Amino acid sequence: MCWKLWIFLAFAVVLSSSFTPAEAGADNSVPIGPAAPELGESAPLSEERQGRVVSPQELDLASLFTSGAYTYFPLPAFGYSRNESYYVGSLVPILKANKKGEIDDIFAPQYLYNQYVGNSLTMNYYGYRSDTVQYRAIVNYAERVQKNFDFSYKDLGAGGGRYILGGQVNFFKNPFARFFGLGNGSRLDAETDYTARETNLNAYIGLNLSPDFSVIVTGRYRDVRVENGIIPSLPQTNVAFSGSPGLEGAQMTGGKLSFLFDTRDSQLTPTKGAYALFSTEMVSNVQHNDPNRWVRFVLDARRLFQHDGDEKIFLARFMVDGIVRTDNTRGRDIPFYERPTLGGETTLRAFGLNRYINDQLWLLNLEERVRVKSVTIMDHKLEFEVAPNLDLGRVYNLAREPFTLNQTQINPGVGLRVMARPHVVGRLDISYGRDGSNAFVGVDYPF
């Protein structure tokens, strides 16, 4: 959602101010002091800030934008995305730090106006209790159609590190959903619009068999309705693709077994190590009386290589994803929104979400993360990264076509990251592909 852009802009605006940069190699993360004094009074310096020159501007801004453990930035909000057009409004990101100066909580109340959905209000919350415990709550309500209620929690080290626990409750209406048809050859001029109305319930529990290896069991329920879109210049999906499976809606239940191998040094801001997840899931569409079942397999493998000291990190990621129909399908096909997809901020970044859909896919992401600057702002240590990258991938229906590398989608791009270690990453990724250029803004690394 676009709110992530405003948080990224908050970091960028603050960094553009003339604060005193952190000394090279120095650790300037310090506890936030008591509530800021009134304007015009002298603010007490933390111990680590004593002994260095502090500009009057820094003291005034610190008084204006901090209150106790909270730092906030009132900002105008504006943005653009290919699917959703222009937004304009205002945002107040509020950052709450712990005694170590690390950001534990992000609150972001926001108002936006969009020509299609009208006025909208959003409250966003992200909580980081440790590297393994995270909370998220997003409540969005627009004047026309668009809604989003999303609540999630995960703890990768519950019970003293023995267990993995997590869950999500989500309901949304997205009037900007797109469908181009199935297959790697789907054309840009076949673009259609629909409103995706979904309810999602997910819960998982896992066992950490060793510090690096875990087994996880996941249960999920997904209810999907395909309704009319709101973009007047695009055809309706249910008209242009009237015979596509899933247009009548679907209710999926799934049970998944996953095996995870993870040696990374951090869950949120890793710099080295390996990650490999293999999962298999049995899914049933229970909306129909007759059986409609399939099995899905996913392998997601990543490796981070640190070089040039700790200034650069090279990341390689390879993923394969596929579905297998069971003998009990009996003529009903798998809904298009339940199949493997490419496109979006975590796969092929030059394309919008779900640009390519089919029964199987492979994906390769290559990224070089280069730290270019570190600064300390109001006792928050922030780091800048530049990340040139390359995404490659293709979807298939191997039952109807042979495996080939022809028409592989190739997306070169570059990313800009702002980090408040050890928990928070704000990112901007710009990529180019067959449909032209595209940009994504988000929180956390894409992979």
Q: DSSP states of 234-269 as a string? A: S-BHHHHTTTSTTTT-EEEEEEEEEEEEE--S-SSS
Q: Give how far the C-alpha of residue 215 lies from the chain's centroid of Cα atoms, to the nearest Å.
A: 24
Contact 20, 55 (CB under 8 A): yes
Question: Residue 224 belongs to what H/E stretch?
Answer: strand 213-228
DSSP output for 127-196: EESSSSEEEEEEEEEESSS-EEEEEEEEEEEHHHHTEEEEEEEEEEEEEEEEE--SSTT--GGG-EEEEE
Instruction: Please check the confidence at residue 60 and state whether its pLDDT lies above 70.
Output: no
What are the pLDDT digits (tens) for 363-404? 999 999 999 988 876 666 788 999 999 999 999 999 888 899
Contacts of 242 (CB under 8 A, 6+ apart): none
Choice between 61 and 259, residue whose per-residue pLDDT is larger: 259
Contact 194, 226 (CB under 8 A): yes
Look at residue 198 in the predicted model and tell me its pLDDT: 98
Task: Give the bridge partners for 15, in sequence order.
Answer: none
Q: What is the mean pLDDT of the chain?
A: 83
Q: Quick one: DSSP state of residue 399?
A: T
From the list 302, 297, 303, 293, the residue with the least C-alpha distance to 325 is 293
pLDDT confidence bin for 205, thresholds 50/70/90: very high
The stretch 47-72 carries a mean pLDDT of: 53
Integer angstrom CA distances of residue 207 from 34, 95, 276, 300: 41, 33, 16, 19
Instruction: Please check the confidence at residue 13 and state whether its pLDDT lies above 50.
Output: no
Q: Left, alpha or beta for 173 (phi > 0: left; psi -120 to 50: alpha)?
A: beta
pTM of the predicted structure, to 2 decimals = 0.81
The stretch 148-163 carries a mean pLDDT of: 94
Look at residue 284 in the predicted model and tell me its pLDDT: 92
Tell me which amino acid residue 241 is: F
pLDDT confidence bin for 47, thresholds 50/70/90: very low
Proportion of the chain above pLDDT 70, given as a percent:
83
Separation between Cα atoms, residue 249 and residue 227, nearest integer Å: 9
What 3-state DSSP class applies to 6? helix
Contact 197, 173 (CB under 8 A): yes
Separation between Cα atoms, residue 235 and residue 230, nearest integer Å: 10
Task: Give the bridge partners for 318, in sequence order.
Answer: 301, 364
Cα distance between the two ends of the chain: 18
Integer angstrom CA distances of residue 76 from 91, 113, 182, 194: 6, 12, 40, 30
Q: Domain extents for the chain?
A: 3-443
Look at residue 420 in the predicted model and tell me its pLDDT: 79
Range with lowest mean pLDDT among 3-17, 203-217, 297-311, 408-422: 3-17
pLDDT confidence bin for 351, thresholds 50/70/90: very high
Q: What is the CATH number of domain 3-443?
A: 2.40.160.50
Contact 215, 259 (CB under 8 A): yes
Look at residue 243 in the predicted model and tell me its pLDDT: 87
Look at residue 378 in the predicted model and tell me its pLDDT: 62
Tell me which amino acid residue 73 is: F
Q: Left, alpha or beta for 228 (phi > 0: left; psi -120 to 50: alpha)?
A: beta
